[in-house]
Every structure is written in C-alpha cells, then in structure tokens.
Amino acid sequence: MKVVVAVAGGIAAYKAASLVRELGRAGAEVRVVMTRAAQHFVGPATFAGLTGHPVVTSLWDHPGEVHVELGRWADAIVVAPATMDLMAKAAAGLGDDPVLATLSCARGPVFFAPAMHWRMWGRPATQRVVATLAADGAHLVGPERGALASGESGEGRMSEPEAIAAAVVAHLQGPRDLAGRTVVVSAGPTHEDLDPVRFLGNRSTGRMGFALAASAARRGARAILVSGPSALPTPPGVERIDVRSARAMQAAIGQHVGDADAVIMAAAVADYRPAEEAPSKIAKTAGPRTLELVRNPDILAELGAARSGAHPVLVGFALETEDAAARARAKLQRKRCDLVVANLAADGFGGEENLVTLVDAAGDHPLPRRSKAAVADAILDRVVALLGQSGPREG
Ligand code: C5P
C-alpha cells in the first residue's frame, strides 16, 4: 500500500501529521506533498521525519518530473486538509502547484478530506466543485459537523485522521470478508519427471492461482498456496508450499484440506505421468521411442467425492480450446464442485488478463475481460456467497 498524503493550506494541516502516522500504522508506505500555503501551517520537516523521505514542496526542486513519479508510485492519494481553493482548482483541472500536478497524474483513487468554515462549505460554488470531483471519480471523506477554527460550530470540520486513514485503507484492501477462513489454492503447472533431467509439463505460469491466493490473504483468509514450479514471487501474507508433480500436489493439499473452508484448484494438473521414472538420464537410441503414460489422480474429483455436504467449498477451472462453458458445466457435475471457472486457452493462458465465465448450479455468469487480480476477486465474491450459504463451520 503506497499512499501520497497531499497537504493543502488550512489550520487542519497539523492533523495531516497524525494521518501520516495512522497510515503508517496500517502498513502503508507514505510520501508527502505540500502546497506553499500548507507550509505556513506546518513545516515539511515534520512530515520528512514521520515518513523518512523528503517532502515535495515545489515542482522545481527535483530533477525530472516529480509529480509524474509520485502519481505513478501512489496506490492512492489523499488530500488532507482539502481546502475550498485546492478542490476548485483540482475540479477545474489546474496543475500549477505540486499537489495539483500530482493529482493530475494519479494512477489510483483520490480522496479529499475537506476542511473549511461552514459557510464556505455550504455555498453553492463549493458544492458544485465537490459534485464535479465526485463525478470525476474522487472519494470524499467528511467533512464532519463540529467545532471549527473560528470558534463556531458547524459542518466543515475535517474528519479525524483515524477515520480518513480507515477509509483509504478499507478502499485499498477491499472487504475483510474471509477473516477466520482458510482457503487452499493450487497454482501453476505440474512437472512429471521422466528422468533426472526431463519432465512433462505445460505452459501454465501460475498467475491466476497466485492472484487468488493474494486476494484471499488480503481479504483476511489464511491463504495456503500449493504451487507447481513457478517463478512468481510469493504474495504478501500467503503460505506457500512448492511441489513438482500431481501426486506431490495431491499430498500437500491432502494435508490441509481438513482445515480448509474452500479449495480452489487453479493449477494445470497433468492428467498423465510417465509410467516409469528412469533413475538415470534416458539415452537416445536409433528410431522412434514410445512413452507409456499412466493416469494421475484427479485431485479435484477426489475432493468432490470425499466431502460430505458442501464443506469445503470446491472451485475448479476448465481451460479449454473450445466450448469452454459447456465443458465446464459437465465438469461441475462430474467433479462434484460448486463452481467452475471456464476459460479458453487463447483468452487467459500465460497473460496478465483473463476472460472467464463462472459456471455454477444457477447458470453461466460471463465476466468482462479483466486483470487476473480482478477476476480473482470476482471468484472469491462467489466463494464468500457459497460459504454464507453453507453456514459456519462446525467443531
Ligand atoms: O478435467 P480437467 O483437467 O479439465 O479439469 C480441470 C480442473 O480439475 C482444474 O481445476 C484442475 O486443477 C483440476 N484437476 C485436478 N487433478 C487432475 C486434473 C485436473 O485436480 N489430475
């Protein structure tokens, strides 16, 4: 979580220091950018000390385009306090100070925490500005009703730093709707060894399964990732078990299925393995060679056959080169699972994005083409719904 705190010139600027600290406590990396007016209220040294990084106070003190770098770096930008003047300029698309220029390069969501006198907040021009910012996709946090700097009381007081930090963090982390649950995800290919140097494998990268494990962990689950050979880094908070073959994957999943509330089989498990694994490198001979293959266990089908009732929730994948949804429906029944994610090899294998249809007892639910992270979240939304239907775990 990388958050830019953008400080504009209002008395509430001193509370931005607490906001930086709260975001840090929640695990965010924070950088600060300030307007010139903000520096009349609080000095950059405070924020530099809190973040351990230089504060951006001008567009001219840095080599390169510091606003572009900050906008690209930030997962979210939060303007606190957001003054009337700064919001009006942002709504108009101006960019002649470091905060405005950084906002113009934002890659992620932007939050405004307004702070002003109640009369400024209530006037039609301010409300027009706020409506424009919201229509452009910005998030408003507050303001609250309460004591104002003028000694009066009214609507215009900046939300407390804890509340602003909580809104930003909740947005970035998404729902914690898998807290207390254990989700086992398989990912990647399997390698079925022929001899000490050769194997049968496939072109799965593991990206979809890694995205599922990352999303499950982010949503509060204990996420156990059983991965075939994959070069991908372990996502934060995920427990990873590396395996090679289908049988090793079956054993690793078997060890954890007793704790699992859901098992998601995103791995491209080899259906066959060599009948024999040679102890030393197989030498070439003249003429053709026939390889005898035997069936691997179907891990998902065995989990489906073994479970009693609807626990754990079982999710399979159907990667096909044609008729994906129809074949997924057949798989749903044959492997006795709750949900099958259908996709065509051309639409997802190896890439950053995926185009899938979710197939369950209620029917087919095609999703738009999206990043694998977004597809993972959509799959977990269904898992959460299925867990709700099956009720809490007994014992
Ligand atoms: O039958 P098919 O291989 O297309 O089924 C794909 C689904 O079944 C995937 O979820 C995959 O992880 C799982 N599977 C399995 N064990 C196998 C083969 C596939 O669990 N041996």
| Domains in the chain: ranges and CATH | 2-173 (3.40.50.1950), 182-390 (3.40.50.10300)
Give residue 353's pLDDT. Answer: 86
**Is the C-beta atom of 316 inside 6 A of ligand 1?**
yes
Query: Distance, CA 255 to ligand 1 centroid (Å)?
Result: 19
Strand order in the sheet with 29-34: 29-34, 2-7, 76-82, 110-114, 139-140
Nearest CA to ligand 1 atom 9: 317
pLDDT in tens, 16-54: 999 999 999 999 999 999 999 999 999 999 999 999 999
What distance in Å separates the CA atoms of residue 160 and residue 364, rounded to the nearest whole number? Answer: 45
By annotation, the residues acting in catalysis are: 202
Pocket test for ligand 1, best of 200, 269, 341 (most atoms within 8 A of CB): 269
β-strands 76-82, 153-157 pairing:
unpaired
Confidence (pLDDT) at 48? 97
Task: For 295, list phi and psi in degrees, rounded to 5.
Answer: -70, 140
Distance 341 CA to ligand 1 centre (A): 11
pLDDT value for 213: 98
Residue 369's SS3 state is coil
**For residue 121, which of 95, 150, 97, 162 has the smallest C-alpha distance?**
150
Query: Is the pTM for the entire model greater than 0.75?
Result: no
How many Cβ atoms from other residues are within 10 Å of residue 295's Cβ? 10
Q: Rounded CA gap, 79 and 75, in Å?
A: 14
Please tell me the distance between residue 83's alpha carbon and the centre of ligand 1 in angstroms: 56
Residue 323 one-letter amino acid: D
- By the 10 Å C-beta count (0-12 exposed, 13-18 middle, 19+ buried), 15 is classed as buried
Q: How far apart are alpha carbons 251 and 228 in whole angstroms?
A: 13
User: Probe ligand 1: pick from 257, 265, 327, max atoms within 8 Å of CB?
Assistant: 265
The whole-number pLDDT of residue 389 equals: 76
- Which atom of ligand 1 is nearest to 186's Cα? 12
The neighbour count for residue 18, using CB atoms within 10 Å, is 16
* pLDDT 10s digits, 301-333: 999 999 988 899 999 999 988 888 899 999 999
pLDDT tens per residue, range 148-191:
988 989 999 999 999 999 999 989 988 889 999 999 999 999 99
